[in-house]
Amino acid sequence: MSTLDQRSLLETISLTMRFAGLVAVSNFNLQLQKNELVGLIGPNGAGKTTVFNMLTGVYRPSDGKMILDDKPLNDLKPHNITRLGMARTFQNIRLFKDLSVLDNVRLGHHIHFNYGLLATALQTKHFYKEEASTQEHSLELLKIFDLEKYQDLQAKNLPYGAQRKLEILRALATRPKILLLDEPAAGLNHKETEELMQTIQKLRQDFDLTILLIEHDMKLVMGICERILVLDHGETIAQGKPKEIQSNPIVIKAYLGDGGGEAQT
């Protein structure tokens, strides 16, 4: 598309979510340019995950518009949005726990399959070819996080940190344009977090990704994000370069004023 460079890849216009009178997110405006890495931060309960849930179709926004690549997302089901090129991870890891590590990644490839039930029943050549290429591709993905040695393990038996990584790989397997990461570092120690952040940056290069990242801890995203949006009580209270955010008095107040974000975790 020729307009791709001028127009944003993902755009939301005064996106609003109300739950029975309670406003969870109001007037959320976001323009995500191709290849950007943007952080969405804010204290607990600020509405960050609600933004993700709207973008991915889990919730239908009460108001506003969402446009991905010139296509409106408002009325689409989650699986359609994934097909348009947006994949996500979840704050409280949602792996297919009883399935193997390999199957979790293979499932990520699902939308790129094109053989029918009949080919499955007859196990045609085409079927074998597709299965083999998926397997290969999945193993390659697993190598990114050094998980290929666990490929036959049930996902629930992976160490916690590896589960987070596997979820990212599953999302990557859908070959998204935009990757939404919901607190990818939650529960990881300092060293693991550093490593993960570096890998995320590398993924962006290698897969030509645009990434929107939710983080609760402000310090963490400062290093890697080009741009940061701060949400508090559903309102966007600030946005800009990490430096600007760091010194923004409104942001500091939001984090410290309401009893301190850290303590609420």
Partner 1 sequence: MKKQILTFLIISILLFLGNFIVPAMMNPYLFMILIYCGINIIMGVSLNIINGITGQFSIGHAGFMAVGGYVSAAISFYVLMPLLSLFPSDNTILSLFFQNALFVASLLLGGLGAALFGYLVGLPSLHLRGDYLGIVTLGFGEIIRVIILNLDFIGGARGFTGIPAWSNFFWIYFFAVAVVMVSFRLLGSSHGRALLSIREDEIAAESIGIPITRYKVKAFVLSSFFAGIAGGLFAHFIGYLNPSSFTFIKSFEAIIIVVLGGMGSISGAIVAAVITTILPEALRPLQEFTRTDFRMVIYPLLLLTLMLTRPQGLFGNKELSDVLPFLKRKKSP
Partner 2 sequence: MEEFVQHLINGISLGSIYGLVAIGYTMVYGILKLINFAHGDVYMMSTFFGFYFARWLGFAYTPSVIGALIILFLAMAACALLGFTIERFAYRPLRKMPRLNLLITAIGVSLLLENGGQILFGADPKFFPELIQRAELFRIGDISISNFQVIIIVVSLSFMALLQYIIFHTKTGKAMQAVSFHHENASLMGIDIDRIISFTFVLGSALAAAAGILVGLAYPRIDPLMGVLFGLKAFVAAVLGGIGSVPGAIVGALIMGLSEEMVVGYFSSTYRDALAFFLLIVILLVKPTGLFGKSTSEKV
Contacting positions for partner 1 (CB under 8 A):
56-58, 77-79, 82-83, 87-88, 90, 94-99, 103, 106-111, 113, 115, 117, 120-125, 127-128, 130-131, 134, 170-171, 173-174
CB of 53 to partner 1, least distance (A): 10
108 vs 242 by CB, closer to partner 1 = 108
**Residue of 28, 90, 145, 150 interacting with partner 2 (CB under 8 A):** 90
CB of 168 to partner 1, least distance (A): 12
184 vs 261 by CB, closer to partner 1 = 184
Q: Which residues contact 186 (CB under 8 A, 6 or more apart)?
A: 91, 164, 216
Return the one option of partner 2, partner 1, none that residue 173 interacts with (CB less than 5 to 8 A, by type): partner 1
Does 58 sit near partner 2 (CB under 8 A)?
Answer: yes
Q: Which residues contact 185 (CB under 8 A, 6 or more apart)?
A: 164, 192, 193, 196, 197, 215, 217, 220
77 vs 143 by CB, closer to partner 1 = 77
Does 53 sit near partner 2 (CB under 8 A)?
Answer: yes
Report the alpha-carbon distance of residue 82 to residue 170 in Å, rounded. 12
Report the alpha-carbon distance of residue 250 to residue 240 in Å, rounded. 13
> Is the CB of residue 156 less than 8 Å from the CB of residue 97?
yes
Q: Which residues contact 259 (CB under 8 A, 6 or more apart)?
A: none
